[in-house]
């Protein structure tokens, strides 16, 4: 049985977080859940890396956070994109597209 790798591709975690938050503010587990759902289980994000990344992005001014009650009325920290964060998402998404297409072309080329 082969074990599929579920780590997020190096350097893309920030991009994924920005994308997940672009629709609506989410708390930590919410972000993980969305990533897992949308990637259909290909990627898994553990809380250590996620919360560290959130902290780093908040410091960089990409995110804002506040403690709020969840729909199940538990207290959780919700993250939201700032203006800078939104701009950063556009830049990074475009960059990723360009690079992904390039990698795709390279893999299809006759070597």
Please give the residue ranges that form the binding site for another protein (CB under 8 A): 27-30, 32-33, 44, 46-52, 55-56, 58-61, 70, 72, 74-77
Cβ closest to another protein, residue 49 vs residue 103: 49
Q: What is d(CA 23, CA 19) in angstroms, rounded to the nearest whole number? A: 8
Nearer to another protein, 69 or 101 (CB): 69
Instruction: Give the residue with the Cβ less far from another protein, 19 or 27.
Output: 27
User: Which tokens is 24 given?
Assistant: 């609506």
Question: What's the N-to-C CA distance of the chain in angstroms?
Answer: 30
């Amino acid at each position: 049985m082969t074990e599929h790798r579920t780590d997020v591709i190096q350097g893309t975690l920030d991009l994924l977080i920005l994308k997940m938050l672009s629709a609506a503010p989410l708390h930590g587990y919410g972000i993980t859940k969305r990533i897992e759902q949308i990637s259909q289980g290909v990627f898994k994000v553990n809380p250590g890396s996620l919360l560290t990344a959130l902290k780093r992005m908040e410091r960089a001014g990409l995110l804002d956070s506040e403690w709020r009650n969840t729909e199940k009325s538990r207290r959780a920290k919700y993250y939201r994109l700032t203006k800078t964060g939104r701009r950063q998402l556009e830049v990074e998404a475009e960059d990723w597209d360009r690079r992904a297409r390039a990698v795709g072309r390279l893999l299809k080329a006759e070597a």
